Amino acid sequence: MKFHAFNDQSGGTTRPSAGFDEMVRPDGSIRPAYQKLADWLSQQSRGLMAKKQEEAEAIFRRLGITFAVYGDSASNERLIPFDLIPRIISAKEWRFLERGIEQRVRALNAFLYDIYHRQEIIRAGRIPAELITNNEAFLPEMIGFDPPRKIYSHIIGTDIVRTGENDFFVLEDNLRIPSGVSYMLEDREAMMHLFPELFAAHRVAPVERYPELLRQTLESVAPAGCKGDPTIAVLTPGIYNSAFFEHSFLADQMGVELVQGSDLFVEDGALYMRTIAGKEKVDVLYRRVDDAYLDPLTFRPDSSLGVPGLFDLYRAGHVTIVNAPGTGIADDKAVYAYVPDITEFYTGQKPILQNVPTWRCAIKDECAHVVQNLDTLVVKEVHGSGGYGMLIGPHATKAERASFAKKIAAKPSNYIAQPTLSLSTCPSNVGKGPSPRHVDLRPFVLVGDRVRITPGGLTRVALKKGSLVVNSSQGGGTKDTWVLED
């Protein structure tokens, strides 16, 4: 089953080295945050864990996640396997991540404002002009527009990997329409049902306020002219979209309408939805439809998923679109390499979170390095996603590498390269009992009147032994993420 919108970023290679173990130190002792969990794990029988695994399935079924399943065939399976053993992040580690993420999302929103206005960062010579103006992800229609509170990306899923005690890297910023938050919420729900005593033994920071915080965030960016409580709606492409479950879930949890393009229309300078009692004005639209499909009058004329005139209303300040169109320029892979500079430029501080070292083939010397080291690098297409157009050096054959080198030579600016990272591991419940598996982390960030980061996020785990691929399409699962409070 495929998990939409997540893309295949995590290198995707197996390496001999085991990676940083988040529970067990190299000397075999247990790290403090994991002590209670380790003790508990040692007391659980394999039979009990198997029984709990079955119960978990029943819970997901009851929560309704099953209805996201496609097609005609067996439908009582969950989209992504669920790993019973929680991942634990200490209060100290989380404070560090939280600070780093907040710094980064603030800087990226400031960057978006700047490049759609005076482009000071280009004038200052910190990034090349072509990086922006020639970039398809830069949306000229957004130039000169001030979105409410000058925020472009309100809902963000920052992908983070860990390689050592203090080594956290941001792999991707996901500023367009990140998904997966429903899994975070349902995983928590399941763990509280399955292991109440284990849960109670830890002081776990809550995640269940996310829908409420999302609602507050959306309300806080209502158009200036909006009187009274703003009306919010979630715009979905419809039931055939792979993330439809999440759209429906979030609308329900926030207590707002889940709309499709055909439910909406523009009249007399306002956006309305068709209700059984007539029309109702919409002030804030949390859209889960891509930019190109939002408004056939301004963007793709063949789109039936959007609303004609929506973008004009947005620019006139009569409705807020969340996230703003054109945020893709800030999570573009070519721009990614500049995020440390971007962070410094807008915050005046050194970046707290590191980038994965990235070689830009657009730059001659860096390109030469990439071509010489193809056997150790992961090469990605700048505009690709979902693992398409990617070369995983250590796994590729000689011929594959040679042919990829030709592709790079033909259009260097289309490629970047990164080292294959050895992701950290956490204990996972895999048949024979707990065993370390590689993980990454997607914390969910909300940016409105203030920045709200839900403690933890979605941990994805590569359930196959030795695999670094956390994608659900290739044997990846999810697990609950416990951020401990002091």
Partner 1 sequence: MLGRTAASLFWMSRYIERAENIARLTEVGYRIALTPDIGSGHREDWQSTLIAAAGLNTYLERHSAITPEKVQHFLLFDRDNPSSVRSCLETARNNARAVRTALTREMWEALNSTYIDFTAVKASDLRSGKLPEFLDWVRQRSALFRGSMLGTLLRDEGFHFGQLGAFIERVDNTARILDVKYYVLLPTNESVGGDLDAFQWETILRSVSAHRSYRHVYKDRYRPWNIAEFLILRQEMPRSFRFCYGWIERSLEGLLEILGQSPQSRHDALAILSDLKSASMDEIFQSGLHEFLSNFIKRNNDLSSRIAHDFHFL
Partner 2 sequence: MLISIHHRTSYRYDRPFNHAIQALRLTPPTDESQIIRSWSITCPGIEYAAEYQDAFGNVVHLVTPPGETDGLEIEASGVIETNDRAGVIGSTHKIVPPAIFLRPTAKTIESPAIAALALQCCRATRLDTLHALLSSIHETVTYDTDATHALTTAAEAFRAKRGVCQDHAHIFIAAAHVLGIPARYVTGYLLIEGDTAAFAHHAWAEAYTDDLGWIGFDAANGVCPTNHYARLAIGFDAPTAAPVRGTMRGAGSEDLSVEVVVRAGDQ
> Under the rule (CB under 8 A), what is the footprint of partner 1?
62, 64, 66-67, 72-76, 238-239, 244, 248-249, 251-252, 257-260, 262-263, 273-278
State the minimum distance, in angstroms, from the CB of residue 267 to partner 2. 5
Residue 82 binding result from partner 2, partner 1, none, given CB thresholds of 5 to 8 Å by partner type: none
Amino acid at residue number 289 = V
Q: At residue 287, what are phi and psi to the nearest 5 degrees?
A: -100, 140
Buried b (16+ CB within 10 A) or exposed e, 71-81: eeeeeeebbbb
Amino acid at residue number 286 = Y
Instruction: Give me the half-sphere count of Cα atoms (radius 13 Å) on the Cβ side of residue 301.
Output: 0
Rank residues 252 and 344 by Cβ distance to partner 1 and give the closer one.
Answer: 252
| DSSP secondary structure letter of residue 132 | H
Residue 243 binding result from partner 1, partner 2, none, given CB thresholds of 5 to 8 Å by partner type: none
| DSSP secondary structure letter of residue 416 | E
Distance CA 217, CA 452 (A): 8
State the minimum distance, in angstroms, from the CB of residue 73 to partner 1. 8
Q: Find the helix or strand (DSSP H, E) in which 309 lies.
A: none
Structure tokens that stand for 175 in this block = 């500023």
- For every residue of 459-484, DSSP letters joined together read EEEE-STT-----GGGTEEEEEEEEB
Residue 129 binding result from partner 2, partner 1, none, given CB thresholds of 5 to 8 Å by partner type: partner 2
Rank residues 122 and 292 by Cβ distance to partner 2 and give the closer one.
Answer: 122
| DSSP secondary structure letter of residue 30 | B
Beta-strand pair 476-483/82-89: parallel
State the minimum distance, in angstroms, from the CB of residue 301 to partner 2. 8
State the minimum distance, in angstroms, from the CB of residue 252 to partner 1. 4
Distance CA 164, CA 25 (A): 11
Residue 273 binding result from partner 1, partner 2, none, given CB thresholds of 5 to 8 Å by partner type: partner 1
Structure tokens that stand for 141 in this block = 């229609």
State the minimum distance, in angstroms, from the CB of residue 22 to partner 2. 46
Residue ranges in contact with partner 2 by CB under 8 A: 117-119, 122, 129-130, 132-134, 140-145, 265-270, 296-297, 301, 308-309, 312-313, 315-318
Rank residues 117 and 395 by Cβ distance to partner 2 and give the closer one.
Answer: 117
Rank residues 260 and 472 by Cβ distance to partner 1 and give the closer one.
Answer: 260
Distance CA 310, CA 313 (A): 5
Structure tokens that stand for 208 in this block = 């269940």
State the minimum distance, in angstroms, from the CB of residue 299 to partner 2. 11
Amino acid at residue number 15 = R
Residue 142 binding result from partner 2, partner 1, none, given CB thresholds of 5 to 8 Å by partner type: partner 2
Rank residues 298 and 481 by Cβ distance to partner 2 and give the closer one.
Answer: 298
**Sign of the CA dihedral running 459, 462, 468, 470:** negative
Whether the CB-CB separation of 109 and 151 falls below 8 Å is answered with yes
Rank residues 245 and 345 by Cβ distance to partner 1 and give the closer one.
Answer: 245
Residue 266 binding result from partner 1, partner 2, none, given CB thresholds of 5 to 8 Å by partner type: partner 2
Rank residues 3 and 314 by Cβ distance to partner 2 and give the closer one.
Answer: 314
Residue 67 binding result from partner 1, partner 2, none, given CB thresholds of 5 to 8 Å by partner type: partner 1
State the minimum distance, in angstroms, from the CB of residue 261 to partner 2. 10
Residue 376 binding result from partner 2, partner 1, none, given CB thresholds of 5 to 8 Å by partner type: none
Rank residues 101 and 362 by Cβ distance to partner 2 and give the closer one.
Answer: 362
Rank residues 37 and 139 by Cβ distance to partner 2 and give the closer one.
Answer: 139
Only one residue has tokens 């009582």, namely 76
Residue 267 binding result from partner 1, partner 2, none, given CB thresholds of 5 to 8 Å by partner type: partner 2
- For every residue of 160-176, DSSP letters joined together read EEEEETTEEEEEE---S
State the minimum distance, in angstroms, from the CB of residue 125 to partner 2. 15
State the minimum distance, in angstroms, from the CB of residue 133 to partner 2. 4
Q: What share of the chain is helix, strand, coil (3-state, %, to 5)?
A: 35, 20, 40
Residue 200 CB coordination number (10 Å):
10
State the minimum distance, in angstroms, from the CB of residue 71 to partner 1. 9
Rank residues 220 and 241 by Cβ distance to partner 1 and give the closer one.
Answer: 241
Residue 118 binding result from partner 2, partner 1, none, given CB thresholds of 5 to 8 Å by partner type: partner 2
Distance CA 253, CA 304 (A): 27
Rank residues 263 and 381 by Cβ distance to partner 1 and give the closer one.
Answer: 263
Q: Find the helix or strand (DSSP H, E) in which 275 lies.
A: strand 270-275
Residue 24 binding result from partner 2, partner 1, none, given CB thresholds of 5 to 8 Å by partner type: none
Whether the CB-CB separation of 391 and 400 falls below 8 Å is answered with yes
Burial of residue 238 (number of CB atoms within 10 Å: 0-12, 13-18, 19+): middle
State the minimum distance, in angstroms, from the CB of residue 281 to partner 1. 14
